[in-house]
Amino acid sequence: MKKDMVDMVFEGLLRIGDDNLILGHRTSEWCGHAPTLEEDLALPNIALDLIGHAQALYSIAIQLKSDYNHEDQLAFLRLEHQYKNLLLVEQENGHFGNTILRLFYFSTYMKYFWEQVSINCFFKKLKEFAEKAFLETSYHSKYSSQWVITLGDGTEESNKKMLEAVSNMEPFIGELFDNDEFADISFKNKFLPKPSSIFKNWEKEVKNVLKKGKLNLPEILLKKNGGRKGEHSEIFGFLLSDLQYMQRAFPNSKW
Amino acid sequence: MKQNNDKAWNALRELTDPELPFLTLEDLGVIRSIKIKNKNHVITISPTYIGCPAISVIESKIKNRLKKLGIHARVEKSFSPPWTTDWISSKGRKKLEEFGIAPPQLKKNGYLQVASANKVKCPQCSSFSTEKVSEFGSTACKSLYRCLQCKEPFDHFKCI
């Protein structure tokens, strides 16, 4: 592969890897705090899947560059501005409904994303990975959609909380579908789908589920972005200090 | 070379899964191929889940087992075609049921449709009158059910 292609593939793997790692970390914060025992099993299991995806993507990425010899260097030893994840995934968990709605938005997005990658990607390793990742994200999407409906169409209180969640997420949805320069180049080179091309399927499915939960997808008026350029929310530093603690305090430690 | 492959296969097929110790790697269908490249064995396995913690244990089990036979081996992971629960052998399904875990249904008709068809048989009393408690169970590959007939809770191997 030529150098500019290597850089493009590396950047793409970082973006998706970081999305999965950071959401995996946030989701893992529920361990021991979920509202029921069943959900206390479900959320860490999902976190395990997400972190597993990140690990696999980072391990593909480090094979492309000689600066790295272990995927942990990417996961634990970068600074804030070197992470390329969406702002959506780094936001604080809030209540259970909030966490569930974010998972539903993200996994539904990733489901369509992986489907496209498994059909169109020129990079064989990612194309093959996508086939498997599609199955797992579909399961996450299905799980979270059922909770969105149950809580939205539940009691007055649970509906109120889901309305809150819908409004909390609103500023962060736009970034999922943003086409920047990288997105255009990687689409032209048959690497990743254009984020904007996923919107139609995503919107249809999300609207359908929200409607069953007596909720509505708001028109996206306010749009925050910057995550893909490494410009993160203030809380991201706190998240990293937790995530990176072991590797910073005990360099090269292994489980 | 063929003979050597058979030797490796016979040694590996009986190894067991660390989370489901009554199931062999053959039952699970995770060993995709055994090839010999430059006098080294390359064992290709299909992870059941991308982030499954059992995979690294399976990898070292394979290496250690072959080392005892004097075979140097490298283990590679392959995601395509993706492992699905259809790859679990009928013997494996029977063992799951005997162990109290409802085996996954064959997903011939599309995986999510089958998964939500909720015709899951209770492994204790064989009743089909069961309901799902949670999409996720004690490990990534299982969901949680309960039987409305005998009232016992049980794990169901998720269909993917």
- The residue extents of the domains of chain A are 3-249
* Higher pLDDT, residue A222 or A124: A124
Residues B67 and B103 in one domain: no
Question: Does any domain span residue B135?
Answer: yes
Residues B148 and B92 in one domain: yes
Range of the domain at B122: 88-157
Residues B59 and B99 in one domain: no
Q: Which of B32, B55, B77 is the last residue of a domain?
A: B77
Q: Please report the sign of the dihedral spanned by the C-alpha atoms of residue A229, residue A231, residue A236, residue A240.
A: positive
Structural contact between residues A229 and A182, judged by C-beta atoms closer than 8 angstroms: no
| Chain B residue with Cα closest to A42 | B136
Residues B93 and B63 in one domain: no
- Model confidence, pTM: 0.92
Which of B52, B139, B160 shows the shortest C-beta gap to A139?
Answer: B160
Residues B73 and B98 in one domain: no
Which of A48, A131, A138 shows the shortest C-beta gap to B51?
Answer: A48
Residues B72 and B106 in one domain: no
Tokens of B85: 């629960």
Residues B112 and B53 in one domain: no
The four Cα atoms B61, B64, B66, B70 give a dihedral, to 10 degrees, of 180
Tokens of B90: 């009928």
* A50 residue type, one letter: L
**What confidence score (pLDDT) does residue B3 get?**
55
Q: Does the domain made of A3-249 have the CATH classification 3.40.50.150?
A: no
For residue range B17-66, what is the model confidence (pLDDT) as tens digits? 998 999 999 999 999 999 998 888 999 999 999 988 889 999 999 999 99
How many contacts does A have with B, using Cβ atoms within 8 A? 74
Question: Does any domain span residue B58?
Answer: yes
Which of B50, B116, B133 shows the shortest C-beta gap to A49?
Answer: B50
- Give how far B64 is from chain A: nearest CA, Å: 20
The H or E element spanning position B35 is: strand B31-37
For residue range A159-174, what is the model confidence (pLDDT) as tens digits? 999 999 999 999 999 9
Domain count along chain B? 2
What does each C-alpha distance from A40 to A28, A37, A91, B69, B134 come to in angstroms? 10, 5, 20, 43, 10
Average pLDDT over chain A reads 96
Structural contact between residues B56 and B24, judged by C-beta atoms closer than 8 angstroms: no
Q: Which of B77, B100, B127 is the last residue of a domain?
A: B77
Question: Does any domain span residue B46?
Answer: yes
Residues from chain B that touch A136, judged by Cβ atoms under 8 A, are 49-50, 160
Share of chain B above pLDDT 70, in %: 91
Question: Does any domain span residue B94?
Answer: yes
* Partners of A102 in the β-ladder: none
Q: Is the minimum CB–CB distance between A126 and chain B shorter than 8 Å?
A: no
For residue range B112-155, what is the model confidence (pLDDT) as tens digits? 444 445 589 999 999 999 998 888 887 878 899 999 999 999 99
CATH of the domain at B37: 3.30.300.130
User: Complex ipTM, two decimals?
Assistant: 0.82
Task: State yes or no: pLDDT of A221 exceeds 90.
Answer: no
Residues B10 and B72 in one domain: yes
**What confidence score (pLDDT) does residue B159 get?**
81
What does each C-alpha distance from A74 to A143, A194, B103, B157 come to in angstroms? 30, 25, 38, 33
For residue range A36-46, what is the model confidence (pLDDT) as tens digits? 988 999 999 99
Q: Which of B47, B77, B107 is the last residue of a domain?
A: B77
Question: Does any domain span residue B83?
Answer: no
